[in-house]
Structure 1
Amino acid sequence: MTTIAAQVILHPAATQSLKVLGTTLGRDKIYRAAQYFARFYAWFLVSKGYNIQAVRWNALKSHLATGRKLMRIGKPLEHLQAALKAIHSTTRFGEKVTTVLRQLCYAGYLGYDMAVWANSARFVTLSKESSEKANRRSARFWVWGIVFSICHGLIKAGRLANEAKELRSSSWGEKSTGSEAERAVRYAAVENDRSSVRYQFIIDLLDVWIPATNVGYVNLNDGVLGIFGLITSLMALRSQWAAVSKSKV
């Protein structure tokens, strides 16, 4: 029995899970997945008439959302630094502009998000009108941050597709052992980048509906938004899992 328990506790998957939980991003994505599952399940229970049972899930959703706001304090500065670095980068103009705008929008979104949290924690006191205004502005910045992320993904995907095409066509030319090996490495790197861009593109296409509904641009119910949020949270958690795995190598 002791051996079985040791095998479970010391299993590589358990160790990997602890490493993911040891990162702020890993914890945030797990909390986010639970938050959006609770959002979906509360909607499901209400739709079936189980209003009393839905109360606990709505409470869980609200508390997780508040806790995640606390974890994001300081993030606006991180996005402002990323925007400044992007300005001085040597990337293509379209990619540079969309990156800067995306980072600035995320900084605005998280800045207002901090004000919303401070008000909910009673650290500052905002009027009901000011609190609602801060929530709306936060959601608008979030929407536009995702929109610029989608634009960035489209522009970058186009560039990477052209690079991949050029590398494939050049393979038909004059060959040497060194150039073929270098071309293969470059092609693998480009394909890996294309896969990452497509992955993020899917996340953005699903996530954009959440703040868009909060602002009132669209009107999707909590069931749909809960599923979208759960899917993108698990996708982001998968990326973090892979990143932690690579860091061990």
Structure 2
Amino acid sequence: MASIASQLVLHPVTSQSLRVLNTSAGRDKLYRGLQYLARFLAWLLLSRGYKIQAARWDALKSHLALGRKLLRLGKFMESAQAVLRAIAAPGETGERVTLIGRQVGYFAYLLLDNVAWANNIKFYNLQPSTAQKLNKRVMQFWFTGIVFSIANGLLKAGRLANEVKKLQGQTWNEKSAEAERDLKLHNLQLTRESVRYQFVIDILDVWIPATAIGLVNLNDGVLGVFGIITSVMALRQQWFAAAGKK
């Protein structure tokens, strides 16, 4: 029995899980997945008339959301740095503009989210009407950031596709040059996969703030499923990052 327990505790998957959860991003993605699972279950139970059970999951959802705000304290500075780097970096104009728009949107979203957290824990008290406007503004900036991210992904995907076609259409006489081309193609394909992966996350996530600000009217069941899917996808990225993989 002790041997089985030892194998479980020291198993590589356990060690890898601990490496992921040792990072703020890893914990945030796990909590996010649980938050949207709770959101979905609360909706499902309430739609079937189980009000007491639904209230339990709704409370878990709210507390996880509040806890995740704590993990994001000061994170707006990462977006501020990303804005400055994007302004200074060379590249396609459309991609740079959409990247800057994305990071500005996330900067405002995360900054105001910190203010909302301070109000939620009663560290700084806002009038209910002001708090409501603040929460809506948070969602508006989140929505803006995701929309710019989607536009950036489309532009980048188009450019990468053209680069792949250009390389595939070239012929090489020397094996060394051909090997170099194959390496470039491989790297381009990896980048394209990464862009597509993020695009799927964005195209699902965008409905969450869009519903919050009233642009669409999806129920908590649908939004919960979307949130679960994108959380698992993001957690997968953290898993490979912790393993040293791209």
Counterpart of 1:218 in structure 2 is 216
Aligned twin of 1:168: 168
What is the match of residue 242 of structure 2?
Answer: 244
Distance of 1:245 and 1:184 partners within structure 2: 26
The DSSP-based 3-state class of the residue aligned with 1:246 is: coil
CA–CA distance in structure 1, aligned partners of residues 172 and 163 of structure 2: 18
Post-superposition Cα deviations, 1:33-81, rounded to whole Å, max 9, x if no partner, equal 0000000000000011101111110000000000001110101111011
Matches within 5 A, 1:1-249: 1-170=1-170, 173-246=171-244
Separation (CA, whole Å) in 1 of partners of 2:91 and 2:9: 46
Q: What is the CA distance between 1:174 and its match in structure 2?
A: 3.2
- Partners of 2:82 and 2:172 in 1: CA distance: 41
CA distance in 1, matches of 2:198, 2:117: 27
Equivalent AA in structure 1 for residue 82 of structure 2: A
Letter in 2 for 1:220: L
Alpha-carbon offset, residue 142 of structure 1: 0.5
Return the offset for 1:3.
1.3
Deviation at 1:191, TM superposition (A): 0.2
Structure 2: stretches of 5+ with no match in the other structure = none
**One-letter amino acid of the counterpart of residue 22, structure 1:** N
Q: Report the Cα distance in structure 2 between the residues aligned to 1:175 and 1:126, rounded to whole angstroms.
A: 70
Output the CA distance in 1 between the equivalents of 2:65 and 2:6. Answer: 35
Per-residue deviation at 1:246? Answer: 1.4
CA distance, structure 1, for counterparts of residue 181 and residue 172 of structure 2: 12
TM-score with structure 2 length normalisation? 0.98
Deviations 1:89-128 (A, max 9, x none): 0121111111111000001111111111100111101001
- Once residues 16 and 77 of structure 2 are traced to their aligned partners in structure 1, the CA distance between those partners, rounded to angstroms, is 29
Q: Distance in 2 between matches of 1:51 and 1:174?
A: 69
Query: Deviation string for 1:148-203 (max 9, x for gaps)?
Result: 00000000000000011011111xx2321110111111000000000000000000
What is the distance in 1 between the residues matched to 2:206 and 2:47?
A: 24
Q: Distance in 2 between matches of 1:56 and 1:174?
A: 65
Kept after mapping to 1: 8 A contact 2:172/2:178 = no
Residues of 2 paired with 1:136 and 1:52: CA distance?
28
C-alpha distance in structure 1 between counterparts of 2:130 and 2:111, whole Å: 14
Distance 1:107 1:40 in 2: 28
Deviation, 1:4, is: 1.1
Q: Quote the Cα distance in structure 2 between the aligned partners of 1:91 and 1:174.
A: 27
Query: How far is the alpha carbon of 1:134 from its aligned partner?
Result: 0.5
Q: How far did residue 26 of structure 1 move?
A: 0.3
Runs of 5+ in structure 1 lacking a partner?
Answer: none
Whole-angstrom distance in 2 between the partners of 1:159 and 1:243: 26
Task: Give TM-score, length-normalised by structure 1.
Answer: 0.97
